[in-house]
């Protein structure tokens, strides 16, 4: 089955800096890669996703890049703000919408 590795497990940045979280996946058949933000005690919320026919996607301060050959994808957050502090999960999808999640990254943005 699919295996997703996510790094780093914790990330601490100063407000205004950029944050980068990286994930690798094992199943070359995976074709959809969402990123979820989860605040304490709340639901995971989709913040951006990318499909395997696209190399990069951007939405305001958030961008995701995908390298299919190397089987890795990354989340980039620019101009970080304290409200960006949360746990971020990457995921990879194979058949029937089944998602395999990475282990999560605790992002802390210091004012």
Partner 1 sequence: DAMVIQNPRYQVTQFGKPVTLSCSQTLNHNVMYWYQQKSSQAPKLLFHYYDKDFNNEADTPDNFQSRRPNTSFCFLDIRSPGLGDAAMYLCATSRGTQNSNQPQHFGDGTRLSIL
Residues binding partner 1 (CB under 8 A)? 31-32, 34, 36, 41-46, 49, 51, 89, 93, 95-104
**Nearest CB to partner 1, comparing residues 12 and 103:** 103
Give min distance, CB of 96 to partner 1, in A. Answer: 5
CA distances for 34 relative to 27, 37, 41, 99, angstroms? 15, 10, 20, 9
**Nearest CB to partner 1, comparing residues 51 and 58:** 51
**Nearest CB to partner 1, comparing residues 14 and 96:** 96
**Nearest CB to partner 1, comparing residues 51 and 61:** 51
Q: Are 107 and 61 in contact (CB under 8 A)?
A: no
Nearest Cα to 54, choosing from 73, 78, 35, 27?
A: 73
Beta strands in 55-98 (DSSP E): 56-59, 62-67, 72-77, 86-93
Give min distance, CB of 66 to partner 1, in A. Answer: 13
Give min distance, CB of 98 to partner 1, in A. Answer: 6
Give min distance, CB of 83 to partner 1, in A. Answer: 19
Q: Are 73 and 64 in contact (CB under 8 A)?
A: yes
Q: Are 84 and 67 in contact (CB under 8 A)?
A: no
């Amino acid at each position: 089955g699919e295996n997703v590795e996510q790094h780093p497990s914790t990330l601490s940045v100063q407000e205004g800096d950029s944050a980068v979280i990286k994930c690798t996946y094992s199943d070359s058949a995976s074709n959809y890669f969402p990123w979820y933000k989860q605040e304490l005690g709340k639901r995971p919320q989709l913040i951006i996703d990318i499909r395997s026919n696209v190399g990069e996607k951007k939405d305001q301060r958030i961008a995701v890049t995908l390298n299919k050959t190397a089987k890795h994808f990354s989340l980039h957050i620019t101009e970080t703000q304290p409200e960006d502090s949360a746990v971020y999960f990457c995921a990879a999808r194979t058949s029937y919408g089944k998602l395999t999640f990475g282990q999560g990254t605790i992002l802390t943005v210091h004012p």
